[in-house]
């Protein structure tokens, strides 16, 4: 749970997908199942390629205890590891359908499954300023009736084919994802193309989904980990910036959701010239083109405008924003500032910086707040890199009584990484972690899709992974410190704390780190 894989700006929510409780009895596929797993894994599925001859011993400190010698085995030192086997990353091949839709194919033939993603520049940043939530609602409506099927019949067909079909939108993009076995690919693509090209947007279904959404907004009040990012983004970016508005909408905008608005949004942005199709799995490029042309060839190009450009407001002095949750067992802390766009020239130093700061289990924030102090189950940080500069955030859920102490430790780490040179051993550990972990990032069709979608979503060259290792290796301690100083700005942090205000406010005040302001769960000023 800590160190989620770095966001690629795509929310692949499985709305409407069958939960196969029966499928894998060994796993906690069911919700209330009584299994605990510790969130230890760091930026586990992090990145890139393999470097021959690397050893794991780079950061090892020799154990101070006498070595145990059993069977002539000296246990006192970790084994020296052999060379890494070569990794051939699955290549990506691009082509175009007759209507201009770009089709990228990654061949992985070992298991007869195929993962298909249609990515559209139709995320929440396209929402009109006065009606946030349309992009996510439109994506959600795609599979609530399409072609000849109503909402339930689509779900029925999906399960009958043993396929998973999901539609979602995030801040930047909308996605329609299909995962199925190879023999079912044809009929599953028929279903997917219905959902993309022929959604019904029936009034009855829109009403039904609008009511469900209102219900979800009501339940949001009890979900502090979901409140914190909504409030944080609203404060950092403001209502005039697309990243400042709630992607899931609010009560007022949800009331306004109707067929006319949804259809207008769909007609404007669900177009082949505003989309890209990625197919990964047991398929050849020629086969993929034939299948895609038959389903998406009739899709008419439109004239979608480029995604909007906006500038975040200048940050004020560091301020604490409290969202009151009386009786809360923990406080959700979320602090940070406007970060960088995915296109930043400092991408690689920033990746190294964040892995070290809060992007892996052994990162400074997690080691400090969890493994040294036990204030939390996990602390982390992230640069959410999008088309426009997204947020930099450091976050944790901490025990209520240690809210002030946790803030002290957060500030300590976030200041220290800017002012103290990074030790070489720590830098090496971080870089090795990122480079040697690459093979695992391309293990499954879904893994490989995530890696390539990051490039596709940001219009980056598709061969970017070929130079990845060298670029990580080239990052120096000075680079890390430079980008930390440049992009982490504790003096101007927005610090959101969702917790029991009357308990935590005195401690936060005593820190004397900045003014305290009360906000509602949307991050807005409290109405008297």
Partner 1 sequence: MQAHFIRVSRRALTCAFGLGALLALTATVAGAETPALKVTYQVFTLANGLRVILHEDHKVPVVSVNTYYHVGSGDEKPGRTGFAHLFEHIMFMGSQHVPTGEFDNLLESAGANNNGSTNEDRTNYYEDGPSNSVPLMLWLDSDRMGYLLPEINKDKVDLQRGVVQNERRQSYENQPYGLSEENILSRLYPEGHPYHWPVIGSMTDLNAASITDVREFFKKYYVPNNATMCIAGDIKPAQARAWVEKYFGSIPRGPKNVRPTAPAFHMATNVYGTIEDHVQVPRVYDAWHSQKSFASDDAALQVMGEVLAGGKSSRLYKRLVYELQIANQVNAYQDGGRLDGKFVIFSTARPGHDLNELQKVIDAEVGKLAESGPTPRELERVKNSTESAFIGAMEEVGGFGGKASQLNYYDYFLGEPDSFQADLQRYLSVTAADVQRVAKQYLETPHRVVLSVVPQGQTKLAATEGVQP
Closest to partner 1 by CB, 6 or 45: 45
Measured CA to CA, the distance from residue 523 to residue 528 in angstroms comes to 15
Do residues 265 and 304 lie in contact, with contact meaning Cβ atoms separated by under 8 Å? no
| Packing angle of the helix pair 259-269, 203-219 (nearest 10 deg) | 100
Q: How many CB atoms lie within 10 A of CB 459?
A: 11
| Packing angle of the helix pair 134-141, 259-269 (nearest 10 deg) | 90
Residue 337, phi then psi, degrees to nearest 5: -155, 180
- Which tokens hold the place of 445? 């069709």
Residues with Cβ < 8 Å from 163, sequence gap 6 or more?
178, 179, 180, 181, 184, 188, 191
Q: How far is the CB of 326 from partner 1 (least distance, A)?
A: 9
Measured CA to CA, the distance from residue 351 to residue 325 in angstroms comes to 34
Q: How far is the CB of 105 from partner 1 (least distance, A)?
A: 18
Q: How far is the CB of 81 from partner 1 (least distance, A)?
A: 5
Query: Strands 330-338 and 174-181: what pairing?
Result: unpaired
Q: Which residue do the tokens 């099927």 mark?
A: 149
Q: How far is the CB of 451 from partner 1 (least distance, A)?
A: 13
Closest to partner 1 by CB, 57 or 526: 57
Dihedral, 22, 26, 29, 34 alpha carbons, nearest 10:
120
Q: How far is the CB of 302 from partner 1 (least distance, A)?
A: 30
Q: How far is the CB of 435 from partner 1 (least distance, A)?
A: 7
Closest to partner 1 by CB, 330 or 337: 330
Measured CA to CA, the distance from residue 362 to residue 253 in angstroms comes to 42
Closest to partner 1 by CB, 79 or 306: 79
Q: How far is the CB of 304 from partner 1 (least distance, A)?
A: 28
Q: How far is the CB of 281 from partner 1 (least distance, A)?
A: 9
Q: Would residue 249 be called left, alpha or beta, if left means φ above 0 and alpha means ψ between -120 and 50 degrees?
A: left
Q: How far is the CB of 123 from partner 1 (least distance, A)?
A: 19
Closest to partner 1 by CB, 186 or 308: 186
Residues with Cβ < 8 Å from 340, sequence gap 6 or more?
346, 347, 350, 383, 385, 389, 390, 392, 487
Closest to partner 1 by CB, 361 or 411: 361
Burial of residue 288, with CB atoms counted within 10 A of its CB: 0-12 exposed, 13-18 middle, 19 or more buried: buried
Do residues 511 and 406 lie in contact, with contact meaning Cβ atoms separated by under 8 Å? no
Residue 149, phi then psi, degrees to nearest 5: -110, 145
- Give strand pairing partners of 333: 396, 497
Closest to partner 1 by CB, 387 or 429: 429
Closest to partner 1 by CB, 35 or 309: 35
Closest to partner 1 by CB, 388 or 398: 398
Q: How far is the CB of 239 from partner 1 (least distance, A)?
A: 25
Closest to partner 1 by CB, 33 or 300: 33
């Amino acid at each position: 749970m800590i160190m989620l894989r770095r966001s690629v700006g795509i929310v692949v929510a499985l709305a409407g997908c069958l939960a196969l409780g029966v499928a894998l009895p060994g796993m906690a596929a069911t919700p209330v199942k009584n299994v605990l797993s510790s969130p230890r894994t760091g930026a586990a599925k992090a990145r890139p390629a393999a470097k021959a001859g690397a050893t794991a011993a780079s950061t090892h400190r020799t154990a101070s205890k006498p070595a145990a010698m059993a069977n002539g085995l000296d246990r006192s030192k970790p084994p020296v590891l052999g060379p890494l086997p070569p990794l051939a990353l699955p290549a990506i091949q691009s082509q175009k359908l007759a209507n201009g839709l770009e089709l990228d194919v990654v061949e992985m033939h070992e298991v007869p499954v195929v993962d298909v993603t249609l990515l559209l520049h139709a995320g929440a940043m396209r929402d009109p300023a006065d009606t946030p939530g349309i992009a996510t609602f439109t994506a959600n409506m795609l599979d609530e009736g399409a072609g000849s099927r109503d909402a339930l019949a689509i779900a029925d067909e999906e399960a009958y084919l043993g396929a998973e079909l999901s539609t979602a939108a995030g801040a930047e993009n909308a996605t329609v994802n299909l995962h199925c076995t190879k023999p079912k690919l044809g009929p599953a693509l028929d279903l997917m193309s219905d959902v993309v090209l022929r959604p019904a947007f029936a009034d009855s279904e829109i009403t039904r989904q609008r009511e469900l959404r209102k219900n979800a907004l009501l339940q949001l009040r009890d979900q502090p980990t979901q409140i914190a990012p909504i409030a944080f983004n609203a404060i950092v970016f403001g209502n005039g910036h697309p990243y400042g508005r709630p992607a899931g909408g609010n009560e007022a905008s949800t009331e306004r959701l109707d067929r006319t608005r949804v259809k207008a949004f769909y007609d404007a942005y669900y177009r082949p010239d505003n989309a890209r199709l990625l197919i990964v799995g047991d398929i050849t490029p020629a086969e993929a083109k034939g299948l895609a042309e038959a389903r998406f060839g009739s899709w008419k190009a439109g004239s979608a405008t480029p995604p909007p450009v906006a500038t975040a407001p200048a940050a004020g002095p560091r301020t604490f924003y409290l969202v009151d949750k009386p009786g809360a067992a923990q406080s959700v802390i979320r602090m940070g500032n406007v970060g960088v766009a995915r296109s930043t020239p400092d991408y690689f130093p920033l990746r190294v910086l964040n892995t070290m700061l809060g992007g892996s289990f052994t990162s400074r924030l997690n080691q400090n707040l969890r493994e040294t102090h036990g204030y939390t189950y996990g602390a982390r940080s992230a640069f959410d890199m999008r088309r426009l500069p997204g947020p930099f955030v450091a976050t944790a859920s901490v025990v209520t009584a240690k809210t002030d102490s946790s803030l002290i430790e957060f500030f300590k780490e976030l200041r220290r990484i800017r002012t103290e040179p990074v030790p070489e051993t720590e830098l090496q550990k971080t870089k090795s972690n990122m480079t040697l972990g690459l093979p695992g990032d391309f293990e499954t069709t879904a893994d490989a899709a995530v890696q390539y979608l990051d490039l596709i979503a940001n219009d980056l060259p598709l061969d970017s992974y070929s130079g990845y290792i060298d670029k990580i290796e080239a990052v120096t301690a000075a680079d890390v410190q430079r980008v930390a100083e440049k992009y982490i700005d504790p003096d101007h942090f927005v610090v959101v704390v969702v917790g029991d205000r009357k308990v935590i406010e005195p401690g936060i005040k005593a820190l004397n780190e900045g003014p305290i302001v009360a906000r509602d769960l949307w991050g807005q000023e409290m109405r008297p």
